[in-house]
A and B are shown apart, each in its own frame.
Chain A
Amino acid sequence: MLLCNLVSIAIRVGAPRIVPTHGIPFPTGDPELGPEEERRLRRQLVERALDALGTSVDGPTVFELGAVTGAPA
């Protein structure tokens, strides 16, 4: 599965399982957040990645983080 920010490109090249991230230079982080929040975001991203890996898909599918995306503490 793919963790990336450029979701449209990921879809175009056919990546089956995609989790969108906050920025191009930091797929599993976000320097705008405080250290604790950033760690929490990273954990959520990897947890979502595991969800995606456990889900059957037919083609490019985006697994959003949901309402908790980068939510401030």
Chain B
Amino acid sequence: MRIVHYVNQFFAGVGGEEAAGTAPDTRQGAVGPGRALDAMLGSDHEIVATVFCGDDYAASDASAGEELLALVRGLSPDLLVAGPAFTSGRYGLACARLAAAAARAGIPSVASMHPENPGLDEAEPAPVIESGKIGREMRPSLERLAQAIEKLAGGEELREHDGRIGRAPRRNRMAERTAAERAVGLLLTRLAGDQESTEVPLPSFGSVTPSAPLADPENARIALLTEGALVPMGNPDRLESARATRWLRYELEGLDRLEEGTYQSVHGGFSTVAANADPHRLLPLDAARELEREGRIGQLHHEYLTTAGNGTQVATARGFGVEWAAELRQAGVQAAILTAT
């Protein structure tokens, strides 16, 4: 099989955080962890090229997905392999999105990451193979991935015992036992002390590692964010009022207040009367500017980010979170105040 491998700028050897804005590019053959993976795969398979991209670029640039898919397509692989991304959020999101896009475009693909990676839910329909948590677990992660690739090459479907994680596409099939029998079976398992077994896994919110405290707010650049769907009057960019698929940014430069009638909330999940009468009830610009003038806040970020948090899929919201963090970090923002309705 001709395999194309996707890695981030770090594993491509381009650089660390300082190179996180690197645009998509290609190298011939295997690079970094791809070399070890290539060596584990039998002589029937070869990593013919490595596609890579900076983490910030991949997570926050709207065109990144199409650019990466175009590079992969141009190499006409039999299989795309993305990762392992471990628990790295931006990298995992990039791996998941590229694997999903490739699968939809008819290119078989597989990604590798830890079950807590926020990218996991975005890989569907591509399969994801579990990796370790951190880069030190590279070798066992690659070994498991190599075995999965061999299975895919043999035309087999990847299953849980292959290390497959995340959502698998649902297919109808005849069960050997009726639902009643299986339910009683599960109940007995539960009574025997097994609290984990289930036929319907619930979505997991994972865990959030708190960031370090802000050392000095008086010298920090702080951003205001909201999921209250606050947009300029008339909703010029047509933000959805529910099940939002995107987020928007609007300028605050030179603005001290949000006057009634110039902004509105298009959120479909609560009465927006109070917010529309005074948009500061959703975005505290007046108070934040006051604190900025008094030197309590170093500088307010010149844009606010907004979306509608209403019936949003957890996977989508996680993706927004990673994109917002990448965008703000690139803009030199050290902290954010997010209002939620």
Contact = CB atoms under 8 A, between A and B. Distances in A.
A12 B205 CA distance: 8
B271 A25 contact: yes
Contacts of B207: 14
B270 A25 contact: yes
A-side binding surface: helix, strand, loop or mixed? loop
Interface in A31-64: 31, 38-39, 42-43, 45-47, 49-50, 53-59
Interface residues of A, number: 39
B192 interface: no
B227 to A, nearest CB: 9
Interface stretch (B41-49, B129-137, B181-189, B273-281): B273-281
Interface string B257-279: 00000000000001111110110
B210 A27 contact: no
Nearest to B271: A25
Contacts of A25: 270-275, 281, 341
B96 interface: no
Instruction: Determine the interface band of chain B, counting residues with CB < 8 A from chain A.
Output: 35 or more
Interface in B247-302: 270-275, 277-278, 280-284, 286-288, 290-291, 296-297
Nearest to B267: A25
Contact of B287 (A13, A21, A28, A53): A28
B210 A29 contact: no
A24 interface: yes
A65 interface: no
A23 B340 CA distance: 10
B287 A46 contact: yes
Contacts of A23: 274
B228 interface: yes
A20 B337 CA distance: 13
Contacts of B71: none
A65 to B, nearest CB: 13
Contact of A31 (B277, B337, B338): B277
A39 B340 contact: no
Contacts of B288: 46
Interface of A: 1-6, 10, 12-17, 21, 23-31, 38-39, 42-43, 45-47, 49-50, 53-59
Top 3 closest pairs, chain A to chain B, by CB: A29-B281, A16-B210, A26-B281
